[in-house]
Amino acid sequence: MIYSYNIPVWHAQDPTQYYDSYQRIIDNFKRCCNNIDVCFIDNTYITGPEVVKIVSQYPKSVVFNLVDPPYTWHYLRELVDSANCIFVGTDAPDIPTHFWLTHAHLKFPNYTEQDLLPKKMKSYLSYNFKPHEHRVNLIRHLTNRNLDHNGTITTHVNQSKHPHEMVLGLGELSIWQGHFLNIVNETVFRQHPELLMSEKILKPLLGLRPFIINGSPRYYDILEDWGIDFFDDIWPIQDMRQPADSLESLMHRNHSIICDVIQELASQDLQCLYQLLLPRLYRNQEKTKQLMLAEYERLCINNIKLNW
């Protein structure tokens, strides 16, 4: 087994604790290689040409991309001999994976029902840290429509916890308990493939909250494949999933829809609506835990078929 210079990607003492989950996946792939010479490389933080240069030196390679959007999968497939290289990660052409399901199975805290059920609620909670364009634009929409005071908006400036702490759970429970709708500010907002299902979408699923996604409409496609209820009978989610002429128009339309939903919530009895949705929220939570266990077993326990 040959490990390229970027395996492991993170130090064992990394406070995000990605290392343990990542290492379990790597170890299982190593076991399934049956002692043949294979190069393991991770292209999360290196360029496509660097990957091509490294894998060209070895008869067989496995390329991992687990925690960030894999913008180079299809580009690499065109440049690398497919008979000698296997790609593993979100949207990967060979072995698609959802790292965050595995990571959540291992690391996400266990909360009691009392921890999760709401108390006095604002309309929404919108966690933001890195000021990506789609996050900044949504905050601008909310502010322009005077909806910023209807909920809680955190940014890299006012977020009370370090982002690494937020990754591993729901953050301050008093904040979590104090909202109805979770705005999931996912990692990317793109029209085309190559995205990442991160821990952000798992928070409302495990934390018993209805949600709406500020991100690529393709996130809903994956949730639909997972069997997750995303409340499209209540809010115009199908409108958010429709194609648009440009990324700019897509973002503007979906941000306007999110604002419409929040404005509508201002006139509703949120406690009553929450109780009506609670059975569906429990089903989402249970389904998500099943998905987490299944992905953990698939990537970390079971035999992995490597079709060279």
Both tokens of 306, joined, read: 């490597």
Q: What are phi and psi of 81, to 5 degrees?
A: -65, 110
CA distance 204 to 184: 8
Q: What is the mean pLDDT of the chain?
A: 89
Find out whether 300 and 91 touch, Cβ atoms under 8 Å: no
- For residue range 149-179, list pLDDT tens digits in order: 999 998 866 665 555 455 678 989 999 999 9
Q: Which of 15-19, 114-118, 137-141, 240-244 has the lowest mean pLDDT?
A: 15-19
Higher pLDDT, 19 or 282: 282
- Measuring CA to CA, which residue among 302, 242, 298 is closest to residue 96? 298
Query: Predicted confidence band at 193 (pLDDT cuts at 50, 70, 90)?
Result: low
Query: Predicted confidence band at 205 (pLDDT cuts at 50, 70, 90)?
Result: very high
Q: What's the confidence (pLDDT) of residue 160? A: 58
- Measuring CA to CA, which residue among 94, 290, 78, 137 is closest to residue 202? 290
Q: What's the confidence (pLDDT) of residue 159? A: 60
∠ Cα 285 286 291 (to 5°): 95
Tell me the whole-structure pTM to 2 decimals. 0.93
Q: Read off the DSSP letter of residue 150.
A: G
Q: Which of 8-17, 72-81, 259-268 has the lowest mean pLDDT?
A: 8-17
CA distances from 156 to 71, 148, 161 (A): 25, 16, 10
- For residue range 23-40, list pLDDT tens digits in order: 999 999 999 998 788 999
Q: Which of 53-57, 115-119, 253-257 has the lowest mean pLDDT?
A: 53-57
3-class secondary-structure state, position 194: coil
Q: What's the confidence (pLDDT) of residue 163? A: 52
CA distance 28 to 203: 27
